[in-house]
Each structure stands twice: as C-alpha cells, then as structure tokens.
A = this chain, B = another copy of it.
C-alpha cells in the first residue's frame, strides 16, 4: 500500500469508529429524553460528559492531521469525505480545550437556569448566565475566525457550523426579499372576514397516538428502523438503521401531536433515506440544519397540511371520534391552517413562522457583535415583537425566554429554520412538477410518491453535496424564496378568500 492509500484506510477506519461513538452519544440523549428514570440525572450528565470527552479527543486527534495531509482522494466521493473530516477537525482544533470545557459546563448549568427563569417569568435570573454564554460564544467565534472560518466574520463562523457556506449577508438579502410579502400576507389574513373555526372537543391520548402512528405510516416512516415515544419536546434522534421520533399529546389540540409527528418523520426519514453506503462516514448525515428542516417542513406543511392529505385525515379523525366540530373536509382543511396572533415560534403557522425567525436572527447577530448588551435584550425583544407583530409581549415566558437555543449556546442556528422553509418551497415546486398526481395519493393517505421523489433526489445523497448545491441539483433551479412565497399566497389567499 502506498502512504496515501494506507493513510486513507486508517483515516476511514478511525472515522468509522468516531461515527459509531457519536451515534451512541445520540442514543444516550434519546434515552434521557424518553425513558430514563428521573433519579438518574447526575449520573447521566457524567456519562454524557465522558462520551463528549472521548469524542472531542478523537475529533482533535493529531493523527487526523497527518492522515489528512497524506491521503490523496481517488474519487469525488473520497474528496468530499476528506473535506468534511478536515472541516470538523479544523473546527474542533480551533477551539481551545479550556473554552470548550467551560462552554460545556456553563451551557449544561444554563439550561436549568433558563428553564427555572422561564417557569418563574423572571428574565433577570437568566440574563447574567446568558451574558457569560454570549462572551464565550464571542471568544469561540474569534477563535474560529482566527483559524480561517467565517471569512473574518464572527457570526458567520458560528453559522457555518449549522449551515456550511452560508453567510449572514446572504440571509439578510433573502429575508429582505421575503419580509414585505410575508408581512402583507399576514395583514390580509388577520384582517379577513369569516376566519376558519377552531376544532372543539377533547381528544384522548390513545386516539391521538393511534392517529400519529397512522400518519407516520402514511409518510412512509420505516417502523423497522424506528419507533415513536413520548417526550416533553418532540424530537427525532439517530441515523442509518435506527432513527426514532417522539411526540407529545395535548388533549385539546390533536394537531400538535399529529403535525409534530409528521415533522419528526420528515427529519428521521431524511436520515433513514441516506444511501446505506454512506453510513459510518461524514456523508451519512443530513448535510445541514437548513436542508434537514426542509424535509421536516415539506412533510409537515406542503404535504401534511395540504387539502388532499387533510381530507384523508378528516375522515380518520371523524371516524375515530364519531364526528367532529367542523362541518366537512373543506372546513377541516381551513381549521388545520388557521392563522392566529400568537407569541410562540413553535406554535406559529406557516404565514408567521418566518417572521419569528427574522427577529431572532437580528437579535442574536446584535448580541454576538456586541451592538446589543444582554441586559438590554428583554426590552429589545419586546420592542421588536411589537413592531413586527403589532402585539405587546404579555410575559417574558412568551417573549425572550420562550426558546431553549441560546441557553445551550446555539447562536447561528435560528436562521436555518427559515432557510429550511425556503428550501422546502423550492423542493415542493419541483416535486409537484415531477409527481403531478401526488395529491391523488395524499388524498388516500399515501405520501409515498412524494417521499420517493425526495429520497431519490435529495435524501439519499447525505453529505455528498453542499447544502445549496444539493437543493439546486434536486430542483434544477437556483434557490429562491419565490416558490415558498407564491405557495403561501396562493394557499392562504384561497383559505381566507383574499
């Protein structure tokens, strides 16, 4: 074997084990959120820290640098694998060990402090900790910039971890294009006469879970490689042969359970849909948070909340409940897509969701750049919310304390949600053109043809192509917010008689 070949072989074997260990850490996190006994919290945090220490040591192992230098790729695929390993190695190596340790310690504490502050509606209890986190993230960003990440820009260096290659300048331009049409649509919708009715009644847990399972099956969830459990915050977890989903049940709101399930099926199916040849390599994961979100959102919204699928859902729910409070499938479709003023991002409808994201995007950039002091965040949040949504935040738990992200150090993550919606818009346009009879299937409770198209054109590639290139290859067109905006205006224009 040449030096290059042997370096490649050793590197791939080492990486394979790292990927397996990373999957173990993910499985442990799943356990913690679903089945772990309550009294095991301290022990689990020590177990997680031990796994993190092992993974960090491997991701910064000096042998990685040597292998990367010596290995010569013999295919585009190998070149991409080397690129992804090299990127992870460079990022992990750029961050001083002390900083990484302090960040892990602080964010682990901060999560509890944030949860308590939110429960007590007391932002002052959280701000000093958030201030420390922002300082550490600024240090982390500076270290990454010094190592060449983010093209000299601190926020971009952080963003790059979730959406490789994306910049705040591009997002700014994208959002500037979206905002006027979203704001205008939102105003028209909220001012419309005869808005859809709410769904009345209480829906027993067992029935909701049965429906959730039926929906997951309708969207092609592979039960042989997954399972559904209950969790406080729905999530998906795992890859390759084992990607699990979770949901929650609110008796008065069955759509919470049903659509969070379909959303997580989108995430899990992306991971399960990746070519098995990519398993245990860096190609064997969703390529970015934005692309990941595009899958969860196109399952949930463009397919799941469409007239065709909700028609099938109406019949199932109506049969199970012996009738519903809405008159027929058309009324049910309008109810599913009801737009209402609200404070909470995770409960926002398709029309308003991206406006929540834009607000967080601007605030977190100001925090990282230092233009906004953490102490001034509550006021800045409330002022911005009033400006964007025309409503004053009634309590901090419905304001700046609503999301967990900043408490665990996720800065640069929020904008990928809106980007995912934009990608979903592009993909939906292409998918509908390629599968003209998709709605006929969805009306029978079968998302198969859509899911197949997504798997074939996007999911199976895993990390093989960079995010934007992946989406553009799948759609055959440049990424643009137009398809999403057109879709929203058409859909909600019809529902609200605009």
Report A's interface with B, CB cutoff 8 A. 16-17, 20-21, 23-24, 27-28, 31, 35-44, 46-47, 49-51, 53-54, 222-227, 240-242, 244, 279-280
Judge whether A241 and B51 touch: CB under 8 Å.
Answer: no
**Complex CA–CA separation, A38 to B226 (angstroms):** 8
Contact pick for A50, options B17, B47, B222, CB 8 Å: B17
List 18 other contacts, CB 8 Å, given A35-B227, A43-B240, A54-B54.
Answer: A17-B50, A17-B53, A17-B54, A20-B47, A20-B49, A20-B50, A21-B50, A21-B54, A23-B43, A37-B242, A39-B224, A39-B225, A40-B241, A40-B242, A41-B241, A43-B241, A43-B242, A44-B242
Which residue in chain B gives the minimum CB-CB distance to A279? B43
Judge whether A46 and B28 touch: CB under 8 Å.
Answer: no
Contact pick for A46, options B20, B27, B49, CB 8 Å: B20
**Complex CA–CA separation, A222 to B38 (angstroms):** 11
Residues in B neighbouring A35, C-beta threshold 8 A: 35, 227
**Complex CA–CA separation, A388 to B228 (angstroms):** 47
Take A20-B50, A28-B24, A28-B27 as given contacts and tell me if A38 and B224 are in contact as well, using a CB distance cutoff of 8 Å: yes
Chain B nearest CB, measured from A272 CB (Å): 9
Chain B nearest CB, measured from A352 CB (Å): 36
29 contacts between A and B (CB under 8 A): A17-B53, A20-B46, A20-B49, A20-B50, A20-B51, A21-B54, A23-B47, A24-B24, A24-B47, A27-B31, A28-B28, A31-B31, A35-B35, A36-B242, A37-B223, A37-B224, A37-B226, A37-B241, A37-B244, A38-B224, A39-B225, A39-B241, A39-B242, A40-B241, A41-B241, A43-B241, A43-B242, A44-B241, A54-B54
Residues in B neighbouring A51, C-beta threshold 8 A: 20-21, 24
**Complex CA–CA separation, A23 to B223 (angstroms):** 28
Residues in B neighbouring A24, C-beta threshold 8 A: 24, 28, 47, 50-51
Residues in B neighbouring A21, C-beta threshold 8 A: 47, 50-51, 54
Take A24-B28, A27-B31 as given contacts and tell me if A241 and B50 are in contact as well, using a CB distance cutoff of 8 Å: no
Residues in B neighbouring A44, C-beta threshold 8 A: 241-242
**Complex CA–CA separation, A24 to B27 (angstroms):** 10
Residues in B neighbouring A279, C-beta threshold 8 A: 43
Residues in B neighbouring A227, C-beta threshold 8 A: 35, 37
Take A17-B50, A27-B28 as given contacts and tell me if A40 and B280 are in contact as well, using a CB distance cutoff of 8 Å: no
Chain B nearest CB, measured from A105 CB (Å): 11
Contact pick for A39, options B16, B42, B54, B222, CB 8 Å: B222
Residues in B neighbouring A27, C-beta threshold 8 A: 28, 31, 47
Residues in B neighbouring A47, C-beta threshold 8 A: 20-21, 23-24, 27
Residues in B neighbouring A31, C-beta threshold 8 A: 27, 31
**Complex CA–CA separation, A35 to B31 (angstroms):** 10
Take A17-B53, A242-B40 as given contacts and tell me if A280 and B46 are in contact as well, using a CB distance cutoff of 8 Å: yes
**Complex CA–CA separation, A172 to B17 (angstroms):** 43
**Complex CA–CA separation, A16 to B51 (angstroms):** 12
With most chain B CB atoms within 10 A of its CB, the pick from A40, A54, A222, A279 is A40
Residues in B neighbouring A242, C-beta threshold 8 A: 36-37, 39-40, 43-44
**Complex CA–CA separation, A380 to B36 (angstroms):** 44
With most chain B CB atoms within 10 A of its CB, the pick from A35, A41, A50 is A50
Which residue in chain B gives the minimum CB-CB distance to A34? B35
Which residue in chain B gives the minimum CB-CB distance to A50? B20
Judge whether A241 and B42 touch: CB under 8 Å.
Answer: yes
Which residue in chain B gives the minimum CB-CB distance to A38? B224
Which residue in chain B gives the minimum CB-CB distance to A44? B242
Which residue in chain B gives the minimum CB-CB distance to A224? B39
Residues in B neighbouring A244, C-beta threshold 8 A: 37
Residues in B neighbouring A225, C-beta threshold 8 A: 37, 39-40
